Amino acid sequence: MHDSLGITTVEDVDLAAVDVPAAGSQTSKQVAGAPAAPIDRLVLAAARAQAGELSRLAAESTTALAAALASRGAGADEAVVQLAARCVPRWHFAMLNDTERNDALAVAVERLVRPGMHVLDIGAGTGLLAMMAARAGAGRVTSCEANPLLAEIARQLVAANGMSDVVDVVAGRSTDLMVGRELARPADLIVSEIVDCGLVGEGLLPTIRHARHGLLTPGGQVMPQAARLFGFLIESPVIIGLNRVTQASGFDVRLLNATSTSGHFPVRLSTWPHRELTPAVDLAAFDLATGHLGDGSVVVRMPVTHDGTAQALVVWFELDLGAGITIRNSPDNLQSHWMQALVPLPADRPVTADTTVELRLTWHGERLYAG
């Protein structure tokens, strides 16, 4: 199918007829007749689901582009709005309405920026930190944003706030920036808030490691400066049921568990029934200013206070922004837009009060794992 602009969409492709490379030079067509293993059929179906999503995006982008090129009737505006809504994660709204977060960032930026500094803002979003830095007296702010739509929104907001002469918004990932190209000179201060409920989920560690070495002047500072993870073990069949199934109406539906999340995902702990089996313990610490910031793991010893079945580790962070300012998403902080990170254990683990349980917490890529 071709749309009115003559663009071929993914829907044009008959996925059932696509050759999937098999071992050697064979393709799935060449081995047709041999029944595909259930796992292969899951992989193929997952690829189809992904292709379907891309196809929908392509179709919506095409409609929005056509609308932009045409006379912009009411229907055209709606197409553009729908596309924009899909391109920006919904949590940006809750995040910008989190006054505790915003106030902490504003005070830290105010205290860290010196007049005339060159500040690099990683992850502009709406340009909030960049504008805070300009307001605090920075001479130049380079602000980068991986999402092109957000970058454009940030650029227009910066202009609307009369800061375009100081703040330069670049659409792109920080890891693609170069001194002498997007940055006239290395930054004196790097500010960022690229933190999810489990700290690492937006790529904080590799992003800061790269920026520190490639984009920061020797002796320059980073904000946040350090982070710590805390957590306790819980028993909660209801929370585990957010990510694991057994039967429904008498039918075995466990195959769906092939799509379960093995790493962390957000949960507002206070809204779900659960039993805490250990006290909160220190899990890990990260020195963002000088630490290694690679993937890693720690073995933690947790004193068990109640008999039960440990099913998940609930994790939260404390972020040291520098200049004496910290923010955290602990379970008792109901104001924070960040929920807690639920890290499922690979299997239920019976635990007994007055013993100690050993657990390995791993941070790999953008996920936390416990085992």
Ligand X SMILES: C[S@@+](CC[C@H](N)C(=O)[O-])C[C@H]1O[C@@H](n2cnc3c(N)ncnc32)[C@H](O)[C@@H]1O
In the complex, the residues that contact ligand X under the rule CB under 6 A are 95-96, 122-126, 128-129, 144-147, 150, 173-175, 193-194, 202-203, 207
- Least spacing, CB of residue 70 vs ligand X, in Å: 30
SS (H, E, C) 248-300: ECCEECHHHHHHCCCCCEEECHHHCCCEECCCCEEEEEEECCCCCCCCEEEEE
User: By C-alpha distance, which of 267, 304, 265, 281 is closest to 230?
Assistant: 281
- Least spacing, CB of residue 246 vs ligand X, in Å: 36
User: By C-alpha distance, which of 130, 139, 118, 178 is closest to 157?
Assistant: 130
User: Smaller CB distance to ligand X: residue 119 or 144?
Assistant: 144
User: Smaller CB distance to ligand X: residue 79 or 321?
Assistant: 321
β-partners of residue 73 are none
User: Smaller CB distance to ligand X: residue 125 or 231?
Assistant: 125
Q: Choose, from 145, 193, 235, 318, the residue flagged as catalytic.
A: 193
Assess contact for 37 and 66: CB atoms under 8 A: no
- Least spacing, CB of residue 129 vs ligand X, in Å: 5
User: Smaller CB distance to ligand X: residue 120 or 351?
Assistant: 120
- Least spacing, CB of residue 83 vs ligand X, in Å: 17
182 given a catalytic annotation: no
Cα Rg of the chain, angstroms: 24
Which residue in the block uniquely carries the two structure tokens 């998940």? 312
User: Smaller CB distance to ligand X: residue 194 or 300?
Assistant: 194
User: By C-alpha distance, which of 342, 344, 349, 361 is closest to 283?
Assistant: 361
Is cis: bond before 224, omega within 30 of 0?
A: yes
**Residue ranges of the alpha helices (H) in 34-98?**
38-69, 74-87, 91-96
β-partners of residue 171 are 145
User: Smaller CB distance to ligand X: residue 11 or 202?
Assistant: 202
Q: Choose, from 11, 60, 110, 202, the residue flagged as catalytic.
A: 202
Assess contact for 239 and 312: CB atoms under 8 A: yes
Assess contact for 68 and 59: CB atoms under 8 A: no
Looking at this protein, which amino acid is placed at residue 96? L
- Least spacing, CB of residue 104 vs ligand X, in Å: 11
How far is Cα 288 from Cα 144, in angstroms, rounded to an integer? 19
- Least spacing, CB of residue 282 vs ligand X, in Å: 25
193 given a catalytic annotation: yes
**Active site (catalytic) residues:** 193, 202
